Amino acid sequence: MMQSSLLLCGAPLVAGHASMIRPTSWLDPDGKLEMPDARNKAGCTGHRAPGQKIGEATQGCLPEWYSNFTHIPGEPTINATSPLLTIENCVSKPTANYCLFNGTLPGVGHVELPDWTKRNPWRAPGTAPVWSPCGIDGGNPWGCPKGNPKPNGCLLGGYGYGPDGRSLPGNTRPTEWTAGEGVEVQWSITANHGGGYQYRLCPLPATGRQDLTEECFQQRPLAFAGDQSWVEFDNKTRVAFRAMRTNEGTSPAGSTWTRNPIPGCVSKSKIIGPFANGDFVDCDHPQFEPVVAGLHGFSANCLLKPCLESHTIVDLIQVPDVPPGDYVVGFRYDAEQTSQVWQSCADVRISSSGALTV
């Protein structure tokens, strides 16, 4: 069943490359970072991965933990006119100026119109394969294109041969949860690629984090508790809204995913249209109706316009009734604008609901 979005209250602006903020992920193992560093600096290693062209940790590091260039294996389950879409297309809006263009864009390649995102991960949530359940730094573990022994060649995003997220050491203080309780979780976007997300759970393997698998996470999707979500700004103020969730056509079957509530921009360009998401050219209108008035755009990079306020997205999830022990929470964000799945992992220690604390 798909649940509709409803604006409950309004407030100002936003900032996805995406990562889990709460529980504290392996990218911030000691839980020391506060916003906005928890969003922008988490995962900085102090040195560059092979092929990485962006700055080092002391120079404004922007790590990228994801699976790049991955596509759904079958037909879309979110159709081209669904309200779950986060990117305009020429089926839902055939009269748009950019729908007059068909062919090749520099650095993008052939664009299939009218439904140009139909193979990207969000169009069948959870079905696109991933290279690691906890992400790859740079998104391209086998180089660009695949098999290229050199670290360069990643013209469509990321860099090659970065480390696997499962090689990270984990949290020094796992987050404490109790079976059966409702807990808040948070994630943040630093470059908005549309799409939607899910939280999952996997027992920590006795053999170590390197043996975590996507199959294990898919066995335990975490249920969202209720329909309300919140946008939390860096000054800790919150705005509540009704989330748009779906459990139709998702993987694992029947599991619930939530649409990214922050719309990007459609540019005024007759050629670029939704492709640039409105940051490098003037924003014409949001990709869909914002859940909070004015809350739309691509990033909080003020060199680009519009410049958007930083935020996190908060949900309440239900801790399942599982045996007490050490688990890993996986956050998976399936993009729609790009062929990317953004991932992060965190350690949690789950106790029995009847356990006594001393």
Whole-angstrom distance, CA of residue 338 vs CA of residue 150: 24
Better-predicted residue by pLDDT, 267 or 211: 211
For residue 23, whether the previous peptide bond is cis, meaning omega lies within 30 degrees of 0, is yes
> What is the residue whose two structure tokens read 């990207």?
120
For residues 212-231, give the mean pLDDT.
97
Better-predicted residue by pLDDT, 286 or 166: 166
Give the pLDDT band (50/70/90) at residue 114.
Answer: confident
Per-residue pLDDT at 280:
58
Q: What percent of the chain has pLDDT over 70?
A: 77
Beta carbons of 219 and 209 less than 8 angstroms apart: no
pLDDT single digits (tens) 66-106: 999 999 999 999 999 999 999 998 888 887 877 765 555 55
Give the pLDDT band (50/70/90) at residue 264.
Answer: confident
Give the pLDDT band (50/70/90) at residue 55.
Answer: very low
User: What is the residue extent of each domain of the chain?
Assistant: 18-42+75-133+173-351
> CA 106 → CA 20, 145, 153, 201, 275, distances in Å?
32, 17, 15, 40, 12
Beta carbons of 3 and 243 less than 8 angstroms apart: yes
Mean pLDDT of the chain: 83
For residues 168-197, give the mean pLDDT.
94
DSSP letter at 288 equals S
Per-residue pLDDT at 10:
24
Beta carbons of 204 and 346 less than 8 angstroms apart: no
Question: Which residues contact residue 252 at a Cβ distance below 8 angstroms, ignoring those fewer than 6 apart?
Answer: 126, 218, 219, 221
**pLDDT at residue 141 is higher than 50:** yes
Per-residue pLDDT at 231:
95
> CA 155 → CA 94, 109, 140, 159, 334, distances in Å?
30, 11, 11, 9, 21
pLDDT single digits (tens) 297-318: 877 665 555 556 688 999 999 9
Per-residue pLDDT at 152:
75
User: What does the CA dihedral 146, 64, 195, 37 come to, rounded to 10 degrees?
Assistant: 180
> If you write DSSP's letter for every residue of 95-122 in order, what string do you get?
TSGGGG--SEETTTEE--SSSTTTTSGG
Residue 73 carries which side chain, given as an amino acid letter?
P
Per-residue pLDDT at 154:
81
**pLDDT at residue 6 is higher than 50:** no
Summary count for the chain: helices (H), strands (E): 2, 20
Give the pLDDT band (50/70/90) at residue 158.
Answer: confident
Per-residue pLDDT at 93:
84
Question: Which residues contact residue 107 at a Cβ distance below 8 angstroms, ignoring those fewer than 6 apart?
Answer: 155, 156
Better-predicted residue by pLDDT, 123 or 190: 123
For residue 213, what are its two tokens? 């698998």
Alpha helices (H) along the chain: 37-40, 214-218
Question: Which residues contact residue 245 at a Cβ distance below 8 angstroms, ignoring those fewer than 6 apart?
Answer: 2, 3, 224, 227, 256, 257, 258, 259
Number of neighbours of residue 225 by Cβ within 10 angstroms: 15
Per-residue pLDDT at 310:
82
For residue 112, what are its two tokens? 């299939």
Nearest to 295 by CA among 12, 7, 36: 12
Give the pLDDT band (50/70/90) at residue 356.
Answer: very low
Per-residue pLDDT at 36:
66
Give the pLDDT band (50/70/90) at residue 135.
Answer: very high
For residue 84, what are its two tokens? 């779950």
Better-predicted residue by pLDDT, 112 or 274: 274
Better-predicted residue by pLDDT, 306 or 192: 192
Give the pLDDT band (50/70/90) at residue 198.
Answer: very high
Give the pLDDT band (50/70/90) at residue 61.
Answer: low
Per-residue pLDDT at 256:
98
